[in-house]
Amino acid sequence: PTQIYRYLRTRNMCSPIFLNRTLTYMKHRMSRPHRNRQNFKVDSLLEKVNSRRDAMTIQPGYINLTFLGFNNKSLDYNAQIAQVETVLLKISHKKRKDSSAPSMQVTLGTADVPINPNEQHLPLTAPTISIPTESFNPSSGPLVKSYILLFRVKITPDRDNDDEEPALKKRKSNGSTLENNTKLYGAELTVYDKHNRCYLSDGDYDIVVQDFSTNSRNSPKKHSSWENVNDLVETCGNLDAFMKGAVLKFKLNWSPEASARIVDRPKPYPLQENKENVPLITNGNDNNNIEKLQIVYQFVYNNNSRQQTEACEDLHCPWCSLNCNQLYTLLKHLKLCHSRFTFTYVPISVGARIDVAINEMYDGSYTGSPHDLISQPSVCAFSRNGPVRRASVTHILVYDCEYDGQRPFITGHNRLYHHTTTCLPIYPKEMDVDSEGENDPEWLQNKTMMMIDEFTDVNEGEKELMKMWNLHVMKYGFVGDCQIPLACQMFVQHKGKELLLKNLYKNFVVHMCSLFDFGLVSAVCLYTTIQKLQEIVGETGAIRTILKESREAQMDNWSRSGNLSLNCDKSGLIKTPNTGRKTGNVGIQRRKGTPTPSEGPARRKSVCGDTSRKRLSLSLNKNDQKSS
């Protein structure tokens, strides 16, 4: 298991499944308070967005930079005045081709700043530079993403104080050929970053400037690199180092009007108002009381033979080196995240002993989504073709209950379902649709029709009616005698027209009669059903002509062959029902056993096979069977 957890640790660092800080027992890892969540209202969203948008547009005004002094204790010059040139650097949107973002520099002016002003008697006036805020508004040029203030501090020795200006110009013109005595410092300050966030608020600023005179004049940020936060903290926290370096002091305030070039020296802002003085990182305090705690891990093997112990000083998990600041948290973490082991906590004098043993009850079976296992190699859930629905599987890690939850507890679709007819897996997107609801699948309909077609003692018209009736019963699943009237009514409703167009009117009447004979429908039902059918006849002209034609054909036949043979249909139009099972009311149509030549020999069987017919009619109508 140790190997597994080592591997899982690395994976969890690369692509975490959950964040430790969101766990209830790891509250202390949550750096962000949730105070705002409590009084959060959805209604306030619009307001918030509006106010944010308002903040985006910069009010017309000025940023006034009042330079208070340039402090550099290590400066051994006896210079009094440093020249501070303020440049606004606009960094534009970086195009893909460019190696670095195009930038634009606007010189805002220079100011003479006293070097190492005496704390006791500060100069009464201070030079000021006003930057109009218009210069931060998007202009017509290339889209500017961020604004940075650059400060270039030049110090020339005191003695050539007089010809400072020409010297400066000289230096400007032939950049690198600097005079030996001139020192050059630089610093930068972000006004707006690329997310259009303003960094500068009113306040006193001490900005560390770096010595450029020896190095190249490039801005240090040109080639950015990752920096360790800890290093940053150290440099920030170490005030001594901060004080030793060259520091440019100025006061910044936003005001609606520009200030004069030289203003009275302003008072410093009160300290407590300056947010920069609030310590950023407050860790390191809570460790003090636990530090003495020693944790001993004791590995217990099969028959309680304690074979290995390890002692550690801090509360880091030995497998994932996750810092659980408290013992409780550590134990919770061990139990829940490393459930292949069991952990038993034993308090000892120096701290805690944790007995580690293999969890025999651990169920290591696959607990993820089954669809991840069966998906085709090229198809992934996060494909570029758009979002893909996934089945939800929840593996519950923590569950507050009485018994000791050593077994994983999973909810959701943690199994694969299959379609009933095709056995193909059901994908998450298909889960909402019930694919197999029908009880008359196509094959069963076909098979029924094929089987009816195979009957040798039933004529074509009867077969047609049988098919229609049987498929109707199958489709709606009529199961009881009491449903037969409903079945008749629906049959006329759905199939009435088709029935009449197929010229099966008489067949249906006979069918209804036999239902009546078997006591499945009442006389009223018989009557109303036939009446409804006749209504349909009245509605459609085509049906009327069919009935007329069939009547004429029958009359023709009668007149030709005499009254004896009643059922004959050369053209197949008249489908006289066989009436072997009928009683008196249809007796007039009873066959006399003299088939017409058109009837094939196979069909003749039906005349003599009275018993077989009975069986057949029973097998065809399940409902009949029930009643008899």
Q: At closest approach, how far in Å is the CB of 245 from other proteins? A: 59
**Minimal distance in Å, beta carbon 46 to other proteins?**
35
Give the residue, chosen from 408, 425, 595, 609, that forms a contact with other proteins under the rule CB under 8 A. Answer: 425
Is 238 or 392 the residue whose CB approaches other proteins more closely?
392
Asked if residue 365 binds other proteins (CB under 8 A), the reply is no
Alpha carbon separation from 132 to 136, 137, 544 (Å, rounded): 8, 10, 95
* Helix, strand or coil, per DSSP, at residue 41: coil
The answer to whether 424 contacts other proteins (rule: CB under 8 A) is yes
38: Cβ–Cβ under 8 A, 6 or more apart, which residues? none
| Residue 417: CB minimum distance to other proteins, A | 12
Strand-pair partners of 103: 91
**Coil, helix or strand at residue 590:** coil
User: Contacting other proteins (CB under 8 A), which of 188, 202, 211, 430?
Assistant: 430
Kind and range of the H or E run holding 244:
helix 239-244
Number of residues that bind other proteins (CB under 8 A): 27
Integer Cα distance of 40 and 34 in angstroms: 10
The distance of closest approach from Cβ of residue 427 to other proteins in the complex, given in angstroms and rounded to an integer, is: 7
In the set 15, 176, 228, 378, which binds other proteins (CB under 8 A)?
378
Chain centroid offset of residue 235 CA: 42
What is the distance of C-alpha 253 from the center of its chain? Answer: 45
Please identify, among the stretches 71-79, 417-425, 548-556, 565-573, the one whose residues bind other proteins according to the rule CB under 8 A: 417-425
Query: Site for other proteins (CB under 8 A): which residue of 99, 174, 285, 385?
Result: 385
Among 377, 562, 597, 601, binds other proteins (CB under 8 A): 377
Q: Which CA distances in Å does 415 have to 239, 366, 375, 411?
A: 61, 10, 14, 10
Strands 294-300 and 306-312: antiparallel
Judged by CB under 8 A, which of 10, 435, 596, 619 binds other proteins?
A: 435
Nearest distance from residue 442's CB to other proteins, in Å?
Answer: 7
Residue holding tokens 């340039």? 70
Site string for other proteins, 298-327 (x = CB under 8 A): ------------------------------
Min dist CB 380 to other proteins, Å, is 12
User: CA gyration radius for the chain?
Assistant: 48
The distance of closest approach from Cβ of residue 218 to other proteins in the complex, given in angstroms and rounded to an integer, is 48
Question: Which residue in the set 60, 441, 519, 572 belongs to the binding site for other proteins (CB under 8 A)?
Answer: 441
Q: Which of the stretches 36-44, 108-116, 122-130, 420-428 binds other proteins when contact is defined by CB under 8 A?
A: 420-428
CB of 371 to other proteins, least distance (A): 12
CA 297 centroid distance within chain: 41
Nearest to 298 by CA among 341, 328, 362, 349: 341
439 binds other proteins (CB under 8 A): no
**Amino acid letter, residue 339:** S
Buried b (16+ CB within 10 A) or exposed e, 141-178: eeebbbbbbbbbbbbbeeeeeeeeeebbeebeeeeeeb
Separation between Cα atoms, residue 287 and residue 253, nearest integer Å: 40
421: contact with other proteins by CB under 8 A: yes
Q: With binding defined as CB under 8 A, does residue 278 bind other proteins?
A: no
Q: Which is nearer to other proteins, 429 or 560 (CB)?
A: 429
Interaction pattern, residues 387-416, with other proteins; x per rule: CB under 8 A: -x----------------------------
Sequence-distant (≥ 6) Cβ neighbours of residue 382 within 8 angstroms: 388
* Cα–Cα distances in angstroms (integers) from residue 197 to residues 57, 148, 207, 590, in the given order: 11, 12, 20, 100
- Structure tokens, 361: 């009850």
Burial of 188 (0-12, 13-18, 19+ CB in 10 A): middle
C-alpha to C-alpha distance for 326 and 338, rounded to whole angstroms:
17
Of 418 and 560, nearer to other proteins (C-beta) is 418
Interface with other proteins includes 54 (CB under 8 A)? no
Residue 447 beta carbon to other proteins: minimum distance, rounded to whole angstroms: 5
- Segment near other proteins (CB under 8 A), from 219-227, 439-447, 480-488, 511-519? 439-447
Residue 600 sits in the site that holds other proteins (CB under 8 A): no
Residue 271 vs residues 247, 253, 274: alpha-carbon distances, Å: 18, 16, 5
376 binds other proteins (CB under 8 A): yes
Can residue 423 be called a binding residue for other proteins (CB under 8 A)? yes
Residue 316's SS3 state is strand
Q: Which of 77, 205, 254, 427 binds other proteins (CB under 8 A)?
A: 427
Near other proteins by CB under 8 A, which window of 32-40, 121-129, 358-366, 441-449?
Answer: 441-449
What is the smallest separation between the CB atom of 424 and other proteins, expressed in angstroms? 5
Smallest separation, CB 61 to other proteins (Å): 54
| Interactions with other proteins, residue window 442-471 (CB under 8 A) | 442-444, 446-447, 450
Q: How far apart are alpha carbons 513 and 509 in whole angstroms? A: 6
Count CA atoms within 13 Å of residue 576 on its CB side: 25
d(CA 514, CA 593): 21
Interface residues with other proteins (CB under 8 A)?
374, 376-378, 385-386, 388, 419, 421-427, 429-430, 432-433, 435, 441-444, 446-447, 450
